[in-house]
Amino acid sequence: MTEHEHAASVGEDVELEAFRRLYPLEFLEKFLKDGVRPDGRPLGRARSTLISVGSLPHAEGSAMVKLGNTTMLAGVKLEVMTPSVDFPDEGRIVVDFQMPAICSPHVRPGRQSELEPVVSEQIRNALSSSMMVDLRELNIAPGKAAWMAYLDVYCLDSDGSLLDAALLATAAALADLKLPEVAVTDDGKVLPASSDVQEHRSLKNIQSKRLKLGKIPMALTCAVHPKYILPDPTAEEEAILKTTITVLTDFSGQLFSLYKPGGEVLASTSTVQDCFALAKYRGKELQKIFNNAVIDAEADDAMVED
């Protein structure tokens, strides 16, 4: 490239960047008209998705999810609790979604992001309506002891579709969760399995196990433009279009919930139906990725145990 041409291309770059900043909607629409999105993918496609489990040795279950640039890290820490009187054989799962200051320029340390409670609530709803985990699985000794699972999902990089990524990380971390082997005394005291058995006469050992999972919830966020529907939007697309619809389903496409918090564009019935269809397609895609990641991890487990 000659120097002159180089300078010209730099000039174009600057112009393009200025256009992008000054007329974001027009910028986006120019792309959409040609059937592509600013990051190069076709209109109806989600970004590449990676799931890896067991990345945190301190946590009893953990998973990392990358959805394009959006990155989530979920970890489960277990504690022993006394079950409530009403549900003596149930444990609890406490989900918290955290947006630390590192993830986005809009979050300040010490101040909760507006999205934190929103995503937390949606994950909680999804877990309870899908009944992914039977809380009785967390039982240790009925009425005396049960597991309390603290599931913290950290957003490490925020680039749109946070709920999709966070829910996926939640599900993967729960799939990775392994209840440790413990010993229980008669009065419900829980001790690590390795502790001295002689001291306590009436010890009952409980084997380590993974949770049995029910239907696994997933979410697909779609940014809505009066003419287009963009599944799995980036932060830029979310900010420009200001309207999102999040469809919560299981992998088979069975709907749990449809979430549209306001926004500039109204959702007609056909828009809603289009979103359902996109979610169904996405469900199939995710199921494969999810199963591969989790099964790989279980295979690793088996090898270690051998």
Partner 1 sequence: MAASRVSSYSLESQRVSLARGSSALISPEGVREDGRSPHECRPAFLQTGAVNAAAGSAYAEFGQTKVIVSVFGPRESKKAQAYSDIGRLNCNVSFATFAGSVRGKAGQSTEEKEYSQMLYKGLEGAVALHTFPKTTVDVFALILQSGGGDLPVVLSCASLALADAGIVMYDLVSAISLSRLDTNLLLDATLGEEINQDGSLMLACMASRNEVTQLLLTGEWSQANLSEGLKLCLDACTKLAGLMRSTLKESTSNIED
Partner 2 sequence: MIELLKQKKKRTNGIKHCEIGWQSKLLSNSTYYRPCESQVLRLDTTIFETSRGTRMVHDRPDGRNPNQLRPLVCARGLLHRADGSARWSQDNTIVIAAVYGPKAISGRRENPARAVLEVIWKPKMGMAGPSEREAEFILKRTLEYIVLTAMHPNTAISVIIQVVSDDGGALSCAMNAACSALVDAGIPLKGLIAAVTCAVDKDGVIYLDPINKEEKEFHGHACLVFPGKPMSSFAPAGLALDSEPIERGIVTSVTKGILSAEDYLNCLERSRAASVKIAEFARSSLEKAQRGVELVVAS
Q: Where does this chain bind partner 2 (CB under 8 A)?
A: 112, 114-118, 120-122, 125, 129-130, 226-227, 245, 254-273, 276
Residue 58 sits in the site that holds partner 1 (CB under 8 A): yes
Q: CA–CA separation, 15 vs 20, rounded Å? A: 9
Angle at the Cα of 227 from the Cα atoms of 222 and 231, rounded to 5 degrees: 20
Q: CA–CA separation, 177 vs 54, rounded Å? A: 9
C-beta closer to partner 1: residue 43 or 156: 156
C-beta closer to partner 2: residue 56 or 126: 126
Residue 91 CA neighbour count, 13 Å, CB half: 23
Stretch that binds partner 1, among 186-194, 244-252, 278-286, 290-298 (CB under 8 A): 186-194
Residue 99 sits in the site that holds partner 1 (CB under 8 A): no
Residue 220, φ and ψ in degrees, nearest 5: -130, 115
Task: Count other C-beta atoms under 10 Å from residue 220's C-beta.
Answer: 25
Q: Which residues pair with 249 in a beta bridge?
A: 218, 255
Task: Please state the closest distance from residue 185 (CB atom) to partner 2, in A.
Answer: 36
Residue 73 sits in the site that holds partner 1 (CB under 8 A): yes
Q: CA–CA separation, 306 vs 301, rounded Å? A: 9
Q: What is the sign of the dihedral through the CA atoms of 4, 7, 9 and 11? A: negative
* Contacts (CB under 8 A) with partner 1, residues 144-183: 145, 148, 150, 152, 154, 156-159, 182
Q: Out of 10, 18, 25, 101, which residue is the one contacting partner 1 (CB under 8 A)?
A: 101
Residue 188, φ and ψ in degrees, nearest 5: 85, 15
Stretch that binds partner 1, among 45-53, 124-132, 184-192, 256-264 (CB under 8 A): 184-192
Q: What is the sign of the dihedral through the CA atoms of 100, 103, 107 and 109? A: positive
Longest distance between any two alpha carbons in the chain, whole Å: 87
Q: Out of 27, 31, 45, 81, which residue is the one contacting partner 1 (CB under 8 A)?
A: 81
Q: Give the one entry of partner 1, partner 2, none that residue 84 binds, where binding means its C-beta sits below a cut-off of 5 to 8 angstroms depending on kind.
A: partner 1
Task: Please state the closest distance from residue 154 (CB atom) to partner 1, in A.
Answer: 6
Task: Please state the closest distance from residue 249 (CB atom) to partner 2, in A.
Answer: 9
Judged by the rule CB under 8 A, the positions of this chain that interact with partner 1 are: 56-59, 62, 69, 71, 73, 75-86, 92, 96, 98, 100-105, 108-110, 145, 148, 150, 152, 154, 156-159, 182, 188-192, 194-195, 235
